[in-house]
Amino acid sequence: MNNDKVEGNWKQFKGKVQEQWGKLTNDDLDVIEGRREQLLGRIQERHGVAKDEAERQVRDWESRNPTFFFEKS
């Protein structure tokens, strides 16, 4: 995927990500920058969930936001 598209999508979806995972900080979002593995790690860390639960949450979120594509780090 084109990095410009990832960055543009990330800026657009940053607010939605923070609504879903409220414990993520702006600094976390800056580090994540649309990278799926980074998001999974930060969800685990901030929300205290296991990797499989973080994966389930991200898959659910992706299904509700089909126009957004994470860079597969």
Report pLDDT digits (tens) over 27-47.
999 999 888 899 999 999 999
Of 34, 42, 25, the closest CA to residue 2 belongs to 34
- Which residue would you say has higher pLDDT here, 39 or 69? 39
| Phi and psi based region of residue 3 (left: phi greater than 0; alpha: psi -120 to 50; beta: remaining) | alpha
Q: 73 and 14 in contact (C-beta within 8 Å)?
A: no
Q: What is the pLDDT of residue 65?
A: 81
pTM of the prediction? 0.79
Helix (H), strand (E) counts: the chain: 4, 0
Q: What is the pLDDT of residue 21?
A: 97
Q: What is the pLDDT of residue 38?
A: 94
